[in-house]
Amino acid sequence: MKILHTADWHIGKTINGQSLIEDQKFILNQLFDAIKEHNPDVVVISGDLYDLHYPNKEAMVVLEDALSMINLELDTPIIAISGNHDGKERLNYGEKWFEKTGLKIMTSYDQLLEPIKMNDVNIYVMPYFTPADVRQVFEVKDIHTHQEATEHIVGEIEKVMNKDETNILIGHLFVAGGASSDSERPLSIGTIETVTANTFNAFDAVLLGHLHHPFAIQSDYIFYAGTPMQYSFSEANQAKGYRLFDIEKKGFKQTFIPLEPRRSFNVVNARYEDVIHEEVKIKNKDDYFHFKLTDMDHVTDPLMKIRNIYPNTLQISRQDYEVAYDEIDVDVHTLSDLEIIESFYNHVTEETLEGIKKDKVIQLLEKHLNKGATE
């Protein structure tokens, strides 16, 4: 059995007001070509098909056209699950109709214990969930973290699993130790969102979404597909593509196959004058750029001037500043939003953020996160 594994399309994503929809169409066309070439038995999409819970019409058309191309034109079954960016109502509106054509978009939790049987392979799906979701579905009160929630689900699956057969899990979650990037929205506020790799020992292969780096973790049986294209400047040097699995008798071979973007993301450290006079090495002026510049004190409207030469410049920042001596010594990329605020509060007040104050911060963060999902 052959599986093409992809994830985190984020259709409809914008960065600093720049729509990436044309770039996404370009990369999807490459994915269609890959499906024609490899002729997989099924295409697996491990969540975050959309970038927003309530995508605009253009994003919905692009996704519908992509699913139609794969499923109908290329006659290839699809198994897709919802991610933390996806609005379930938008994603599964035609669920019963889709299943008639071999398109399975899994968003509900009543399917967790019912594998999809394909070519003697049992495929279990684990759409994105919160600990609260699992508490409600399984009527278990003492689940408060993603680790506890995932352990409970896997434990229930193991009760019905035929371990003599090949068992694959499709999920959307954060495996502990995985490398994250700036474009990944936190899975939750106020809870530990990571799950240890050994939680999935019962499965022969685990095909995940959420982390954007295709080599986010090192494992013999747990794999991220990563995003098909770059979605932030922290991903500038990451490989992007899809994975191809050949499954046979509880074993498999897998290969990561890269895709070439329409435009790549580039971070350029340079003097402002060198950029303006085109004295920096740039492969493609139409790429996306974040220029980190020095010697800008005399410059007005630098972004507008740079965009006259590099039209898809998304961000500029200054390099020539001094770090304050009382700067907090933490790596914000390893912390959640709440942990960053807690560190700052402790730094300023020398007290621990707790009680009503902490609850209020969590409420504000959740309100901000939900607002961002609808914009």
In a domain, 326, yes or no: no
3-state SS, residue 78: strand
Q: 3-state SS string over 199-235? A: HHCCCCEEEEECCCCCCCCCCCCEEECCCCCCCCHHH
- 78 and 114 assigned to the same domain: yes
Q: How many angstroms separate the Cα of 27 from the Cα of each of 99, 115, 370?
A: 26, 31, 29
How much of the chain is in helix, strand and coil states, percent to nearest 5?
35, 25, 45
Distance CA(334)–CA(244), nearest Å, equals 30
- 275 and 308 assigned to the same domain: yes
Dig out the tokens for 209 from the structure.
């979404």
In a domain, 325, yes or no: no
> Cα–Cα–Cα angle for 210, 69, 63, nearest 5°?
45
3-state SS, residue 372: helix
- 269 and 341 assigned to the same domain: no
- 87 and 227 assigned to the same domain: yes
Distance CA(273)–CA(280), nearest Å, equals 10
- 210 and 273 assigned to the same domain: no
In a domain, 323, yes or no: no
pLDDT at residue 371 in the model? 54
Distance CA(138)–CA(67), nearest Å, equals 32
The CATH number of whichever domain residue 29 belongs to comes to: 3.60.21.10
Domain that holds residue 287: 265-318
In a domain, 324, yes or no: no
Give 10-residue mean pLDDT values along the chain (375 residues): 97 93 98 98 95 91 94 93 80 60 74 89 93 90 92 95 94 88 60 85 96 94 97 92 94 95 95 94 94 87 93 88 50 70 75 81 76 48
Task: Give every CB contact of residue 40 below 8 A, 6+ residues apart in sequence.
Answer: 2, 3, 4, 76, 244
Scan for tokens 């490459």, then name that residue: 30
Q: How many domains does the chain have?
A: 3
Distance CA(22)–CA(219), nearest Å, equals 34
pLDDT at residue 325 in the model? 44
Residue spans of alpha helices (H) in the chain: 21-38, 57-68, 88-91, 95-99, 131-138, 146-160, 272-276, 302-307, 337-349, 355-374
Distance CA(327)–CA(309), nearest Å, equals 36
pLDDT at residue 42 in the model? 96
Q: How many angstroms separate the Cα of 3 from the Cα of each of 45, 242, 337?
A: 10, 10, 36
In a domain, 327, yes or no: no
- 83 and 149 assigned to the same domain: yes
Q: Domain end: 292, 318, 344, which one?
A: 318
Distance CA(81)–CA(108), nearest Å, equals 9
- 309 and 210 assigned to the same domain: no
In a domain, 303, yes or no: yes
Strand partners, 292: 269, 317
- 85 and 176 assigned to the same domain: yes
Nearest residue to 210 (alpha-carbon basis) of 179, 236, 189, 234: 179
Residues 337 and 186 sit within 8 Å (Cβ to Cβ): yes
pLDDT at residue 169 in the model? 97
Give the helix/strand (H/E) hosting 166: strand 166-172
pLDDT at residue 188 in the model? 54
Cβ neighbour number for residue 74 with a 10 Å cutoff: 15
HSE-up of residue 112 (Cα within 13 Å, Cβ side)? 23
- 242 and 352 assigned to the same domain: no
Pairing, β 18-19 against β 121-126: unpaired
pLDDT at residue 373 in the model? 47
pTM: 0.81
Q: Domain end: 243, 258, 273, which one?
A: 258
- 215 and 353 assigned to the same domain: no
Residues 227 and 7 sit within 8 Å (Cβ to Cβ): yes
- 40 and 12 assigned to the same domain: yes
In a domain, 58, yes or no: yes
Give the helix/strand (H/E) hosting 254: strand 251-258
In a domain, 94, yes or no: yes
- 53 and 106 assigned to the same domain: yes
DSSP 125-142: EE----HHHHHHHHT-SS
Q: Domain end: 290, 318, 346, which one?
A: 318
